[in-house]
Structure 1
Amino acid sequence: MAAVTPSDSQKHSLSLWNFFTIGFGAIIGTGWIFLVGEWLVISGGPLPAMLAFLLGALLLPVGAVFGELTSSLPLDGGMVEYVDRTYGKTASFVTGWLLLLSNIIMCPWETIAISTLFAQMFGSIFPLLRSVKLYTVLGADVYLWPTLIALGFAAFIIRQNLHGAAAAAKTQAFLTKALLCGLLLAVISAVDSGSLSDWEPAFQQVAAANLQTKATSLAAGVLALLTVTPFFYTGFDTIPQQAEEAAQGLDWHRFGRIISLSLLAAGGFYMICIAAFSSLMPWTAFVQEPLAALACLRQLNFTLYFVMLCITVLGALGPMNSFYASSARLVTAMARKQQLPLIFTPPPGKPAAASTHALLIFCTVLAPFLGGNMLLPLTNVAALTFMFACTMVCLACYRLRRSEPALHRPYKVPGGRFGIGCACAIGSCIVALMLLPGSAASLNPAEYLLLSAWIVLGALVKALHRYGHRA
């Protein structure tokens, strides 16, 4: 198989630190603020929630696989290339198409989150924000001013990405620092006012809003949340998606470790977050609050609460920034492999075509009009499609060890084929649990409908593209 090299016309500007902030910022986002209460409900308490995110570190072998493949084949949207080299064009298209769904979802997810934040939390401080109600969709109210504000933030991220990888990376570094400041504030609050007794009971079935604990034991609670955690680790794949923009002379062996480091840092961040917020008030009361993390801070100190609100908005921009860039590179990779129409093939020296930007802008701009209740369905579907794509990449890595043993690998998965096999098994088990009927993590009918619609659209795109080549 002929070697594939990055385009010489691309600008090479991203350092190891840039890649770390791209991945870490994409992983963290605002889930820790918006959904920490839901994590406790799903798992039945702080202890099983923290154990679930600790076991989420099982994804480390998957991250190591990405490190090996990206250091060997540093290509934008390389996941498409890896699967194509091992399992063929059809498997590559399916992998890329499902991964594209999980990537594209993240930009709308964050714009919905920002709109919801301004409507519910800032709206209680500044009533003007909720003065103009547009309509109600899926039980969620959509207001004019929060929607416009969310669109304004989205426009800023789109502008940064249109200016190139360097501008987007600089923005990401700032946003990562803001996230760390937010965590520090939560920890200081917990040390000053918290109590470990608020973690009790260790496990309890509870209900909050439209969610309730399905698990019947602590172990089952850990498993129930464990199958959802992949979504909250989604984002490390944005690191290899922009490999072609790596700075000249980058140490690719150290690059392989950056992906695993971002996963470890995110896991520690989540566990500290759960521990801190669950110490501020009894967790069974905590989960009853809308946007529980922010609600409990407001009870402690209004100034701290307002600062955390502002940090949360900045936190939402991190994943939007990373996933916008990642989605653009993935579309470009699929177009290069002739899996998408030629209009998505970028001109020389550009990481994405104008039509690709138009597609991403449309999805991002549409999102705030869908309402806050779309967050959880988007979360679950993105988790499934992301883990499927990761599993295919792990299988590709395993086969490449046999089919291309001479391929230069600056970084290798610890444990060799055994380590790669573990990554394959982990991905397969998580996908199976999300598809298995009766599983606590299985998709609901609405989520299956969303997934099915995307699959049908993919089949239609594939058929039309094939017909166009034959014509």
Structure 2
Amino acid sequence: MTRPDANPAPDADAARLAALGYTSEFRRDMSLWANFSLGFTYLSPVVGIYTLFAVSLALGGPPMFWSLAVVGAGQFLVALVFGEIVSQYPLAGGVYPWARRLWGRRWAWMTGWVYLVALLVTIASVSYGAGPFLARLLGFEAGPASTTGCALAVIAVALALNLAGTKWLAWAAIIGFSAELLGALVVGGWLLIAERHHGLGVLFDAFGAGSGSGYLGAFLAAGLIGIFQYYGFEACGDVAEEVPDPTRRIPKAMRMTIYIGGAAAMFVCLALLLAVEDYGAVIGGADTDPVTTVLTEAFGPVGMKVVLGIVLISFVSCALSLQAAASRLLYSYARDGMIAGSRLLRTFLPHRHVPPYTLAVAAAVPALVVLCSLLSTDALTKIISFATLGIYLGFQMVVLAALRARLKGWRPSGAFTLGRWGLPVTIGALVYGVLAIATMAWPRTPEAPWYDDYIVALSGAVVIGLGVLYLVTARPYERGDAPAGDAVPGGPAAAGTAPSSEPSTRRRP
């Protein structure tokens, strides 16, 4: 529930932040709708559905549609938990500062590390997914080299917009949201009216998909489209210091992202499914790009260009939101002195009020991942699988920290709380997240080389292993004096040391 207090003045936001131990160099230029738009464009129904529609339809047939409903319900529980946390701790960076206050420095560092790596890889996956659409818009054949070049162009455009400042980010998010939602409604509506070849009964017919090993395994594998779709709401909290009255607005924006974004994703997916003429061709591998097939037949060459333009706006907006989220997380690390190069990474552009070096990292690392994709024949699926696993691991580390803190006596005290529903919702969110992680990591291709069959689990283990190695050798959690572990009554304010009584924008590395 949300308390019906009047919206606080800007100085009240600053006072709340000061009580948490910080002052901010960000400008609060992001309205509720801009904040929601940021989460929506990060979740991006068009990007999520168009990127994995062919793969999921081939694996699970039309019933893969129901994975969107299952995952949406589970992720809504996670969004409720995050809403309680950000309402009490409206700090830039999202999962890292939340885990820091709920549990402590070491847990927070690992949570942020896993999530940061996954975010950077997700930027690469979204940019890489845009490549074929940009190639078709420009009229040339999509291949590994052209897809890579287009992906690098998307990353560069997103970086330029982010460097322009929070106002530009807010406007770009609103424009991206408007274009994507309008495009989804128009394109999906036209497909349902003029290009529908099937009735709703096909949503319960696998058309032979998964007949070899049983349909449950096929459905879980195809469910990657749902798992990949429903994150992005956390980006609303990553920019908490750029939103007026964040304790009320951000939880609301998170919930809006899930149910509006989820409804749009299901609408787009349904329209495409009913417009595919030959499911057998997709499942059998004869039609490897049913999205392009459907859109070309429905809109012709000229109309297809317009649709591709809208799709590309969605991809750029998504990459823009992802970059913003990654840069704020990295800045939050640097502000607390928790990572190498903190002094440089917490630097702000004086007139734009954004951290340029963290934005540069959020562009350079995805660019390297995109370039490395030239070495793989199925780069997109591997990149998405790893990125999604890392995002979910980061989410569940926060949910687990919230459950632990709640069992130790934490009672959320922000403007938005779940009241007596807090404990069961948190448990439900954790159970759902663990099952989703197991689904992603489970090996399903025994005929493939072992390292390919276990690529998702192996990549997660490598990231966690590297994080633990850095944590043990560099001991970053010993730096700075920012509060930690103070959500639990009587817990340490700063992992054994008292927090500084003065708010700070800079922490000694």
Give TM-score, length-normalised by structure 2: 0.78
Which secondary structure does the structure 1 equivalent of 2:144 belong to? strand
How far apart are the structure 1 equivalents of 2:412 and 2:457? 39
User: Partner residue of 2:66?
Assistant: 51
Give the C-alpha shift of residue 255 in structure 1.
3.1
Equivalent residue pairs, number: 444
- Comparing 456-465 with 107-116, greater Cα deviation is found at 456-465
Give the C-alpha shift of residue 18 in structure 1.
0.9
In the alignment, which of 450, 466, 470 is matched to residue 475 of structure 2? 466
User: Partner residue of 1:377?
Assistant: 382
How far apart are the structure 2 equivalents of 1:172 and 1:451? 30
In the alignment, which of 229, 232, 238 is matched to residue 232 of structure 1? 229
- Residues 332 and 164 (structure 1), Cα distance of their counterparts in 2 relative to 1, 3 Å cut: same
How far apart are the structure 2 equivalents of 1:215 and 1:65? 37
How far apart are the structure 2 equivalents of 1:147 and 1:166? 30
Give TM-score, length-normalised by structure 1: 0.84
- 2:53 paired with 1:36: yes
Matched-pair contact (CA < 8 Å) for 1:5–1:74: no
- Residues 416 and 455 (structure 1), Cα distance of their counterparts in 2 relative to 1, 3 Å cut: closer
In the alignment, which of 26, 41, 56 is matched to residue 10 of structure 1? 26
User: Partner residue of 1:291?
Assistant: 289
Which secondary structure does the structure 1 equivalent of 2:271 belong to? helix
Residues 59-138 of structure 1 aligned to structure 2 (within 5 Å): 59-119=75-135, 121-122=136-137, 126-127=139-140
- Residues 191 and 286 (structure 1), Cα distance of their counterparts in 2 relative to 1, 3 Å cut: farther
Residues 442-461 of structure 1 aligned to structure 2 (within 5 Å): 444-461=453-470
RMSD between aligned residues:
3.1
- Residues 438 and 293 (structure 1), Cα distance of their counterparts in 2 relative to 1, 3 Å cut: closer
How far apart are the structure 2 equivalents of 1:215 and 1:339? 47
In the alignment, which of 228, 238, 257 is matched to residue 262 of structure 1? 257
Given residue 83 of structure 1, which amino acid in structure 2 is its aligned partner?
A
Matched-pair contact (CA < 8 Å) for 1:11–1:349: no
- Residues 406 and 270 (structure 1), Cα distance of their counterparts in 2 relative to 1, 3 Å cut: closer
Matched-pair contact (CA < 8 Å) for 1:49–1:274: no
- Residues 310 and 286 (structure 1), Cα distance of their counterparts in 2 relative to 1, 3 Å cut: farther
How far apart are the structure 2 equivalents of 1:368 and 1:439? 25
How far apart are the structure 2 equivalents of 1:467 and 1:4? 21
Matched-pair contact (CA < 8 Å) for 2:347–2:356: no
How far apart are the structure 2 equivalents of 1:101 and 1:467? 17
Given residue 304 of structure 1, which amino acid in structure 2 is its aligned partner?
G
Unaligned 5+ runs, structure 2: 1-17, 480-508
- Residues 214 and 6 (structure 1), Cα distance of their counterparts in 2 relative to 1, 3 Å cut: farther
Matched-pair contact (CA < 8 Å) for 2:59–2:222: yes
Give the C-alpha shift of residue 246 in structure 1.
0.7
Which secondary structure does the structure 2 equivalent of 1:279 belong to? helix
How far apart are the structure 2 equivalents of 1:190 and 1:315? 21
Matched-pair contact (CA < 8 Å) for 1:30–1:312: yes
String of CA shifts for 1:223-280, please: whole Å, max 9, x gaps: 3334652222121111111111112xx2633532321221112221222122111222
Give the C-alpha shift of residue 192 in structure 1.
1.4
- 2:173 paired with 1:172: yes
Give the C-alpha shift of residue 147 in structure 1.
4.6
How far apart are the structure 1 equivalents of 2:229 and 2:289? 17
How far apart are the structure 1 equivalents of 2:416 and 2:441? 33
Which secondary structure does the structure 2 equivalent of 1:26 belong to? helix
- Comparing 147-156 with 272-281, greater Cα deviation is found at 147-156
User: Partner residue of 2:272?
Assistant: 277
